[in-house]
Amino acid sequence: MINFDSNIPIYIQVMDYIKKEIVSGKLKSGDQVDTVREMAIFFGVNPNTIQRALQELEREGLLKSERTSGRFISATSETIQELKLHQGHEKTTRYVIEMKSLGFTKEETVNLVKESKGDNE
């Protein structure tokens, strides 16, 4: 979940986790997210780190804060689709770069993806 040895800042890792939960449908528009304290315990990090991640997600329009009620997912279906495509592109780019560094051609990489056990079609 959180990789404390990573060069990626922890608050960004928290944001990525929440984004993944939104994209996967585990968190839907209108759902209330856990409190800062609950998330800090869950992730094993300082509450200030969680606060920063949540503020950034609000700034990106994925969360909204209601003073007396907490924070809620505010992403529209269009925003979620854009986020899904963006995350897919990032992961695919990293994969292709890694495969290239291992000496695979584009065609070999595509064939490996098609042959993978994750391919249900």
pLDDT tens column, 66-92: 989 999 999 899 999 999 999 999 999
- Contact residues for 96 (Cβ-Cβ < 8 A; gap 6+): 106, 109
Cα–Cα distance, 110 to 102 (Å, whole number): 14
Enumerate the β-bridge partners of residue 50.
none
Cα–Cα distance, 51 to 20 (Å, whole number): 18
Does residue 14 register a pLDDT over 80?
yes
Cα–Cα distance, 63 to 47 (Å, whole number): 17
Task: Give the pLDDT confidence score for residue 116 in this predicted structure.
Answer: 87
Residue pair 31/73 in contact (Cβ under 8 Å)? The answer is yes
pLDDT tens column, 28-52: 999 999 999 999 999 999 999 999 9
Task: Give the pLDDT confidence score for residue 62 in this predicted structure.
Answer: 96
Helix boundaries (H) for the chain? 10-23, 36-43, 47-59, 77-101, 106-115
Does residue 119 register a pLDDT over 90?
no
